[in-house]
A and B are shown apart, each in its own frame.
Chain A
């Protein structure tokens, strides 16, 4: 009792009260669901009866599902294409933009503009741009230089690159701003020193700019992989996983399990598998790249 009154008098209670919003929201909507995800992946839950322990049945069911491998392959393909298109682009833009003085503000504004457009609006707009007819917006523009018409999202091989193009357009600006901030913090002495050693522009990029940015570059790479592996809105609204399942991703699969088949066990099992995969991937990545990192 004495301990408790002393705790209250020393402000312990008000401290705890001030922390309550954090404890309650994180408790209910972050920590508890994370724990529950692990438990649920070993259970069969249908919201009516009490959950039943089923061991690894959910995982087995998910891994045996032929759509699992299709969606995994599609998601990996999306991630790979997004890296090829989307990873070097912001860096090039940022390096060129950081050499500007007065105009940098307007360039940054233009680069960030697609980021503030709500994804649903952007995806539905691009879906219209991708009209496969020769009067589609993109096909009209390409028609001016006698290209196309292209099938875009109507075609099995073109659909995924089309989604990646839209996603790159939507997200590149955010990374440009991160690189610009990193470039602004770069010490000019290193450039001075490189010049004293007779380095030209390209050698300065290679030997000063890139090595100085490597921490940021390493982080944005793995964050992009983690984010693109969870792609949902683009395939869901642009192609609905089609044509012929060519853009069905892991997240669409999870949504199907949970909200079409009410198979919550399978949905969480697949979520947990995906999270484990990303965790292992990040762990390996950080281990391998630790040698190149400055800290």
Chain B
């Protein structure tokens, strides 16, 4: 079987596609899927974009009509400036950036040691990392909170500090295993050659392994950003000070304090960045999401 054949055909054969009834049923079903995806995928975003630029009364009285009393960009600037969305947006950026960097640091160094350097204790560590994958996140919620409240050996509290989000974000077993698995498939001869040339572990990681691992580092980074931006429960618990809270934690409160059109503008601003990042890095996202299945499988 040639490569082209295996790519070109799926469930339906060329013969099936020539059958008018099969072809039309399939096209019809796919058309239905397209309509469904347009309505559910784009619909809510477009509606929010409309409502965020409409008057509160319009949205309440006739939610589905298009700008009955005019298009109004002012909501967005009021939300950004007067409802302090700009401040919470910057907070979210900090939370996201640090969480992403922590995940990258732990996943690349950890994956590198466990996959490439393989010290004698690597097996034990890998097993210990893997085991956390099977423990539901909820189990650690309260003890993790108490740990953050009084960090053992350091005796400090990370409450109301972004470190309380950044550091636990690093302990992500899924990332470590993803990177380890990718590095397992890199050609070991290259590492040996670098070692013969006198490269120590740090240079080996920085100049040889990391450049070869760019695709998987991209996947870890992009999902690191997305998941940090989406997180709600954990920042709600460890950042009680409103001044440093990210958008996700502030939005429920903002909802109760501002008018509807301003609130909807705030929602639009909060979802804008993840959507733009997704549209720009689509391939990376979709490949990573597919990988999720591969690792889980």
Contacts and interface: CB of A to CB of B under 8 A. Distances in A.
Given A26-B171, A28-B151, A15 B29 contact: no
Interface string A155-172: 000000000000001000
Contacts of A178: 289-290, 292-293, 296
Interface string A40-84: 100001010000000000000000000000000000000000000
Given A34-B139, A119-B230, A264-B146, A201 B252 contact: no
Contacts of A233: 232-233
A188 B13 CA distance: 10
A201 B36 CA distance: 23
A114 B40 CA distance: 8
A12 B30 CA distance: 57
Interface of B: 1, 5-6, 9-13, 15-16, 22, 26, 29-30, 33-34, 36-38, 40-42, 44-45, 47-48, 60-64, 102, 105-106, 109-110, 112-114, 117, 119, 125, 128-129, 132, 134-147, 149, 151-152, 167-168, 170-171, 173, 176, 200-202, 205, 226, 229-230, 232-233, 237, 247-249, 251-252, 255, 260, 264, 267, 270-271, 274-275, 277-279, 282, 285-286, 289-294, 296-297
A20 B119 CA distance: 13
Given A36-B146, A237-B252, A116 B135 contact: no
- B contact face: mostly helix, strand, loop, or mixed: helix
| Contact-size category for A | 35 or more
B64 A137 contact: yes
Contact of A112 (B62, B135, B286): B286
Contacts of B134: 279, 282
A107 B132 contact: no
- A contact face: mostly helix, strand, loop, or mixed: helix
A107 B37 contact: yes
Contact of B270 (A26, A118, A232): A118
B9 to A, nearest CB: 5
A99 B10 contact: yes
A190 to B, nearest CB: 10
A21 B105 contact: yes
Nearest to B289: A177
A284 interface: no
A113 B292 CA distance: 17
Nearest to B25: A201
A120 B202 contact: no
Given A110-B38, A181-B290, A135 B138 contact: no
Contact of B11 (A21, A47, A98): A98
A135 B106 contact: no
B139 A31 contact: no
Nearest to B36: A93
A28 B152 contact: yes
Contacts of A264: 142, 146
